[in-house]
């Protein structure tokens, strides 16, 4: 049997299922592993020191993987570590050991990773994203990162209406996910509680008429214009996605080149770019998610095929 693709994700990840189906159609073997199953649902043993990568095997309840014969790795959305049955100190210890031990083994396999987990971790820092985008000549809204209310007032006086964005979103608690969408904010609403942590403020892109979601997978580029209903212009993710209007979007070669250069700079082979489209025809940087969602897009099957191309080639 030919070398399998290792898909690192949870069992209910429907986006990964699309890529797995595309690989199955090509006859490429796949092993799906959720590191959170460590214990009775996942056992492994690996030896290091005699070659470029680990030698050993990993077994789930339904699959067995030769760690030395992996074609490529697709990192998606693994589940949360499940050590709730342990006392707090033991739980924290087990989590750290599993992340660094099992997670380190999988991340260190000497094959193509989509994406490399350490490159993804670095690329998730919005200050680095903004600096990289500006360095490539992309239009970036004036941005302030601060915990100082006075700095917000000065920034508003210089740049006019502001929006607030989170760096990482709201962590889930008791299985319930939260969200804070991009929203307007004024300096008058900011008080001393701002000092507690870091906040990101940007000048509002006031002449925005639509958004663009650009998904790049290897050499393939998929660009869509997304128009939200009136009143939802700041963040198209807020509200029902069924109300969004999607239209194919043609990007200038120069812009595509800059987006590719951005991915190369972070060591990524895949990224989901969010851009604002203005009435003047300008494309303004919002962010790049190095592990973004794309299954909702009209071209999702073609995107899954692009992932399969990349992972099959290894």
- Residues 101-142: tens digit of each pLDDT: 999 999 999 999 999 999 999 999 999 999 999 999 999 999
Alpha helix (H) residue ranges in the chain: 14-25, 88-107, 117-123, 126-135, 149-159, 253-266, 300-313
CA distances from 166 to 29, 171, 183, 235, 272 (A): 39, 11, 10, 12, 18
Look up the CATH number of domain 5-115: 3.40.50
**Measured distance CA(308)–CA(218) in Å, rounded:** 10
In the prediction, which pLDDT does 176 show?
Answer: 65
Omega within 30 of 0 (cis) for the link into 115: yes
- φ and ψ at residue 122, rounded to 5 degrees: -70, -40
Q: Which residues pair with 214 in a beta bridge?
A: 223, 273
pLDDT beyond 70 at 171: yes
Compute CA 42 distance to the chain's CA centroid, rounded to the nearest angstrom.
Answer: 25
Q: Which of 241, 288, 284 is nearest to 263 (CA)?
A: 288
**Measured distance CA(201)–CA(196) in Å, rounded:** 15
Query: Could you tell me the pTM of the whole model?
Result: 0.94
The radius of gyration of the chain from alpha carbons, rounded to an integer in Å, stands at 21
Average pLDDT over residues 134-161: 97
Mean pLDDT value across the chain: 94
The full set of domain ranges for the chain reads 5-115, 116-139+207-290, 142-204
Q: Which CATH class is domain 142-204?
A: alpha beta
Average pLDDT over residues 16-43: 97
In the prediction, which pLDDT does 78 show?
Answer: 96
CATH of 116-139+207-290, one of 3.30.470.20, 2.40.110.10, 3.90.190.20, 1.20.1270.30: 3.30.470.20
Average pLDDT over residues 239-268: 94
């Amino acid at each position: 049997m030919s070398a399998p693709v290792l898909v690192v994700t949870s069992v209910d990840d429907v986006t990964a299922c699309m890529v797995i189906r595309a690989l199955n159609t090509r006859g490429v073997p796949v092993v799906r592993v959720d590191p959170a199953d460590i214990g009775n649902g996942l056992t492994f043993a690996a030896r290091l020191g005699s070659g470029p990568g680990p030698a050993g095997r990993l077994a789930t309840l339904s699959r067995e993987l030769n760690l030395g014969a992996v074609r490529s790795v697709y990192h998606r959305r693994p589940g949360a570590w499940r050590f709730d049955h342990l006392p707090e100190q033991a739980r924290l210890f087990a989590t750290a050991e599993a992340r660094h031990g099992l997670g380190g083994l999988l991340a260190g396999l000497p094959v193509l990773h989509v994406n490399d987990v350490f490159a993804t971790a670095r690329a998730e820092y919005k200050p680095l994203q903004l600096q990289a985008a500006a360095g490539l000549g992309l239009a970036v809204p004036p941005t302030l990162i601060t915990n100082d209310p006075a700095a917000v007032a000065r920034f508003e006086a210089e740049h006019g209406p502001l929006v607030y964005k989170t760096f990482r979103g709201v962590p889930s608690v008791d299985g319930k996910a939260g969200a804070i969408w991009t929203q307007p904010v004024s300096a008058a609403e900011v008080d001393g509680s701002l000092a507690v942590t870091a906040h990101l403020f940007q000048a509002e892109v006031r002449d925005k008429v639509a958004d663009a979601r650009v998904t790049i997978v290897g050499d393939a580029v998929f660009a869509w214009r997304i128009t939200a209903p009136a009143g939802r212009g700041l963040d198209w993710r807020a509200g029902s996605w069924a109300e969004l209007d999607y239209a194919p979007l043609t990007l200038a070669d120069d812009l595509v080149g800059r987006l590719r250069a951005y991915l190369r700079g972070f060591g990524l082979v895949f990224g989901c770019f969010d851009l604002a489209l203005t009435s003047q025809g300008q494309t303004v940087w919002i962010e790049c998610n190095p592990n973004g969602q794309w299954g909702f897009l009209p071209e999702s099957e073609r995107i899954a095929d692009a992932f399969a191309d990349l992972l099959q080639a290894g």
